[in-house]
Structure 1
Amino acid sequence: MSLPASRRLKIGLSACFSHADPDRSLFTGKTLQYVEQSIAHWIMSAGAMVVMVPCPTGETARGDVTLAHYADWLDGVVMHGGADVWPGSYGEEPLRPEWLGDRVRDLYDLALVEAFSQAGKPIFGVCRGLQLINVAFGGTLYQDLLTQVPGAQVHRDAKQYDRHAHDIALVSGSRLSQLYPGQLRARVNSIHHQGIKQIAPNFEVEAWSIPDHIPEAIRRAPRPGGGYIAATQWHPEFRSEDGSTLDDSALLDDFLQACSRTRTFPFPGHSPFQIRDRAARLLKRALLRRR
C-alpha cells in the first residue's frame, strides 16, 4: 500500500533563477524561480516528496516566511545545478565577463545552506551545488578548468551536454566507496567548466576525475554532532539509458536515509559562518537595493 503523505520524507529543492527580462514575451519583466524536471523526479523516484524552496525576499516579497521556516519544516535539501558561482563569493574577481556567474542566486543558495545547516538537516549538492557548498564552508574554485589547470581535460561539451562523460577514481575507505563496494573506478557525466581549487575545511574528497585529478565528490568529515553534507560534481539525476555511468540509486538512498535518521534524531544546528544568519541578511540587503 502506498505510504500516506505524513510518512513520506519532505525534501527541499533549491530554486533556479531567471531574472526579470523586459524582452521576454512571457512573464515580461518578472523574476522566475523554477526547478529542472529530472532532478525533482530523481528525488521522487525513492518515494520522497519534493518542495521547491523559493527565495523569500525580493521586489514582490510579502509576509514573514523565511528560509529558516523551510529548514525547520523539511527533512533535508538538495542544492540544484545551474549557473556559475560568482567569483566574488570566494574572494576573487572574474577573469572574464562570461564567468561572472549569478551573485543573487549565490546569496540565496548560501542563505539556504546556512538555514539547513543551522537546523542540522542533511544537505546534498549537485554540480553547482557542490561548488556552492564548498564555497559556503570556506573553500575556493577554479573559474575555468581549461584555463587554470594545466593538462585539464574537457569537463563540459555544450553539444554533447549530459552525454559527455569521463572516468573517476573513488577514494578507498570513503563513504562513497562503501556505497559502491569493489568499484573504485566509475564513469560519470560531466557538465561543468568550474571546479574545486581548495577544499573547504572539515570536508573530504571522495572521488577524483581521471586523469586530471579534479575533485568530483565531497563530504563533510564525520564529527560529533555534525550533520550530513555531501555533494557530487556530476548530475546523478541524468541517468544514462545504456547504464554506462555510475548507478545513482545508492547516492539517493544514502541521502534519504540520513534525512530519515535526522527526522528521528535531530542534529544540533551549526552555522557555516561566524555570524548566525549572516547569509540571509546579505541576501535581503542585496535584493532590497535592487528595488
Structure 2
Amino acid sequence: MPAAPRLKIGLSACFQHADPARPLFTGKTLQYVEQSIAHWLMSAGAMVVMVPCPTGETARGDVTLDHYAEWLDGIVMHGGADVWPGNYGEEPLREEWVGDRVRDIYDLALVKAFAEVGKPIFGVCRGLQLINVAFGGALYQDIETQHPGARQHRNATTYDQHFHDLHIVPGTHMAKLYPDTPRARVNSIHHQGIKRVAPEFVVEALSEPDGVPEAIRLQPAPGRGYIAATQWHPEFHKQGSDTLDDTAILNDFLAACEQAKAHPRPVLRPAPSLRERAARRLRKALSRQRD
C-alpha cells in the first residue's frame, strides 16, 4: 500500500526588516523560519512550509493567506518580537516594548485565515501571546515590573538555559496528555505574558510560584476546532533532560491536524482589532446621520 500523505504544516514567518545601518539589507525585508521549530515538526514526519507575508512594497500576484489556509493542514505561530500593546488597547510603557507592528498585522491575519476554515493552530512563546490578543485577551508588557511577586521569566545571558517550574492545571486537556506529571520544569525566554485570558480559552498550566499562565487552549465544544499554545518552547526540549518532554504536545497537535483534514470545522473567530472596531463605530455613526 502507498504511504499515507504527509501532513503539510505551515510555520509563520519571522521578520528582519530593512536596516539603514547595514547597506546590504537597505530596502530589503527578510522572512525566515527558525531551524529548531521546523525540525521539531519534521521529527514527526510533517512537511513544513513557511507562510510568507503576501503584502508589502514588492508584492506581486494574487496569492493570499486564505489560499495557504485552504491548502495547509495546520499552522504553528513562531516565537519572536513583542506584541504591540496597541493591539490590546494599551500604550507602550517603554520604547523597547513597542514590538513589531508589521509582523503583528501579518500574524493576526494568519490566525484569522486558519481559524475561519477550522485548521488547527498552535502557538509558541510570542505565538501564545499573539493568539491570546487575537481572541480578545491582554498581556503584561513586562511581567517583572507589572505582576506582583513575579519571578524572572527571561535571562538574556542564559537564554534557553533559563528554566522555571510549571503547574499543570488538573482536569485540563494538558493534564490528560501528562497524567502523571502535575508539575514539570520548562524553559523560560519571555518578559511579556498573559494578563487577561481571552474569552472562550482556558489556562492549562501556570508558572510557579507566581501563577503566570503558561499554556492556553480554546475551550472544547461541539463543532469547535483546535487552538492551543505554550509560553515555553517545546522544541527546545532535549532528550534525557529534566524538562517537560515535548512529544505529547507535538503528537496532540498533529493528531488534531489529521482529524481536521478528515472533518474540517470552523472555530471561534478572532476578536476584531481596535482599528476594525473603530471603523465599525464610524460606519454606524455615519449611518445614523444619514437616517
Report the TM-score when normalising by structure 1: 0.91
Tell me the C-alpha RMSD between the 2 structures.
Answer: 1.8
Per-residue deviation, 1:29:
2.4
CA displacement 1:197-233 (0-9 Å, x = unmatched)? 0000000000000000000000000012111000000
Structure 1 residues 27-42: aligned runs within 5 Å: 27-42=25-40
Structure 1 residues 1-291: aligned runs within 5 Å: 3=3, 7-240=5-238, 242-268=240-266, 270-273=268-271
Q: Relative contact order: is structure 1 or structure 2 higher (C-alpha 8 Å, sep ≥ 6)? A: 1
Per-residue deviation, 1:21:
1.4
What is the CA–CA distance in structure 1 between the aligned matches of 2:85 and 2:251, rounded to whole Å?
Answer: 33
Pair 1:177–1:269, CA change in 2 (3 A): closer
CA displacement 1:14-54 (0-9 Å, x = unmatched)? 00001111222544320000111000000000000000000
Q: Which residue does 1:286 correspond to in 2?
A: none
Pair 1:25–1:261, CA change in 2 (3 A): same
Amino acid at match of 1:95: L
Amino acid at match of 2:185: R
Q: Would you say how many aligned residue pairs link Structure 1 and Structure 2?
A: 276
Report the TM-score when normalising by structure 2: 0.91
Amino acid at match of 1:47: G
Pair 1:2–1:29, CA change in 2 (3 A): farther
| Structure 2 portions without partners, runs of 5+ | 278-291
Q: Structure 1 residues 135-144 or 22-31, which shifts more?
A: 22-31
What is the CA–CA distance in structure 1 between the aligned matches of 2:185 and 2:3, rounded to whole Å?
Answer: 34
Q: Is the 8 A contact 1:23 1:29 kept in 2?
A: no
CA displacement 1:172-213 (0-9 Å, x = unmatched)? 111101111111000000000000000000000000000000
Q: Structure 1 residues 27-36 or 60-69, which shifts more?
A: 27-36
Amino acid at match of 2:194: I
CA displacement 1:153-184 (0-9 Å, x = unmatched)? 00000111001000000011111011111110
Q: Is the 8 A contact 2:150 2:210 kept in 1?
A: yes
Per-residue deviation, 1:61:
0.3
Off by >2 Å, runs of 4+ in structure 1 = 1-4, 22-29, 268-271
Q: Is the 8 A contact 2:163 2:188 kept in 1?
A: yes
Query: Secondary structure, in 3 states, of the residue corresponding to 2:228?
Result: strand
What is the CA–CA distance in structure 2 between the aligned matches of 1:234 and 1:21, rounded to whole Å?
Answer: 29
Percent identity over paired residues: 71
What is the CA–CA distance in structure 2 between the aligned matches of 1:237 and 1:48, rounded to whole Å?
Answer: 14
Amino acid at match of 2:144: L
